[in-house]
Amino acid sequence: MTRRISLNLSTPPEVLAELARDEDWIIRRRVAGNLSIPPEVLAELSRDENHYVRRNVALNLSTPPEILTQLSRDKDYGTRHFIAGNPSTPVEVLLILIVDDDRGVREAAERALSKRVHCTHQSGG
């Protein structure tokens, strides 16, 4: 039941905040992926000890750019990879990630930058 609540977009923010402190990392991971989660809870989960939780913060389209920027320095390559793919990640962060030590992170950042350049070019910007 708790797992379903953590994924539900209608779950009240105070319940999500409580679930974000659950001892079960799977619950915390699911909360981190909830699009309705308040930014302050995402900030808390971005510092979680479990890299799967941090990865879901990186994937979450509701994660603010400042949290994505902070997470772009995460020791987990998977988290950095997902940061590169998040459309809210600032271009300045992508420019740093294209020289990341991990090949997958570099490639993800290059793809993201290429998409943005392509979209800008098509829109005439």
pLDDT tens column, 36-72: 999 999 999 999 999 999 999 999 999 999 999 999 9
Q: Is the pTM of this model over 0.85?
A: yes
Alpha helix (H) residue ranges in 33-102: 39-45, 51-59, 65-71, 77-85, 91-97
Q: What single-letter DSSP state applies at residue 50?
A: -
- pLDDT above 60 for 121: no
pLDDT of residue 18: 95
CA–CA–CA angle 69, 33, 89 (5° rounding): 25
In the predicted structure, residue 103 carries a pLDDT above the cut 90? yes
- Quote the CA–CA distance of 58 and 56 in Å, as a whole number: 5
Q: What is the pLDDT of residue 12?
A: 92
> Percent of the chain scored above 70 by pLDDT?
92
Residue 118, token pair as written in the block: 């392509």
Residue 117: pLDDT over 80: no
